[in-house]
């Protein structure tokens, strides 16, 4: 049997930052509710959660990167809703945000998760923010929990240094 290492999905004293875009806040507040619910159900204490608001999704990478490098958090969850308009504006935002968040994660060494909806309509966004297709905020929080606890496990097994 191979040795398997995986996260335990239980939070103890980890600190988590959630960065949430104000643009389309009808949607992003629902994503935030989803993330908070998932964190709490996996053991997080509100005292260890910090919510930071930014104007729009385009501003997520800068703030996420600063928080990820601050040494104060074990994970950063990023929430936004980019809804397609009549121009290609959304395309520029989506690609830059995804690349920026991945880079912040890799360079800081902590999970920076992508809870940004990229939808063609408000209806699609509602479906994915607590509607019939789930809640991207829950998913982004669960991914953060899994990666945080996997890193912890890798340290406990001596694969990674403390």
- CA dist., res. 117 & res. 119, Å (int): 6
Q: Which is nearer to ligand INI, 57 or 149 (CB)?
A: 57
Q: Which is nearer to ligand INI, 40 or 53 (CB)?
A: 53
CB of 139 to ligand INI, least distance (A): 18
CA dihedral sign, ordered 50, 42, 45, 129: positive
- CA dist., res. 20 & res. 162, Å (int): 30
Q: Which is nearer to ligand INI, 93 or 145 (CB)?
A: 93
Nearest residue to ligand INI, scored by beta-carbon proximity: 56
CB–CB of 60/103 below 8 Å?
Answer: no
CB of 16 to ligand INI, least distance (A): 21
CB of 150 to ligand INI, least distance (A): 29
- 89 belongs to the catalytic site: yes
Q: Which residues bind ligand INI (CB under 6 A)?
A: 21, 23-24, 55-59, 80-83, 85, 89-90, 93
CB–CB of 153/6 below 8 Å?
Answer: yes
Q: Do β-strands 16-21 and 75-83 pair in parallel, antiparallel, or remain unpaired?
A: parallel
Q: Provide the annotated active-site residues.
A: 89
């Amino acid at each position: 049997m191979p040795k398997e290492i995986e996260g335990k999905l239980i939070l103890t004293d980890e600190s988590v930052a959630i960065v949430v875009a104000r643009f389309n806040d009808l949607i992003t507040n629902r994503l935030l509710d989803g993330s908070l619910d998932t964190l709490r159900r996996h053991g997080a204490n509100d005292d260890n959660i910090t919510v930071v608001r930014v104007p729009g999704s385009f501003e997520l990478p800068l703030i996420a990167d600063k928080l990820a490098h601050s040494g104060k958090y074990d994970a950063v969850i990023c929430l936004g809703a980019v809804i397609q308009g009549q121009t290609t504006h959304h395309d520029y935002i989506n690609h830059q945000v995804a690349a920026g968040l991945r880079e912040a994660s890799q360079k800081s060494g902590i999970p920076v998760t992508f809870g940004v909806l990229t939808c063609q309509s408000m209806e699609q966004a509602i479906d994915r923010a607590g509607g019939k297709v789930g809640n991207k905020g829950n998913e982004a929080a669960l991914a953060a929990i899994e990666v945080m606890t996997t890193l912890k496990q890798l340290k406990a097994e001596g694969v990674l240094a403390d």
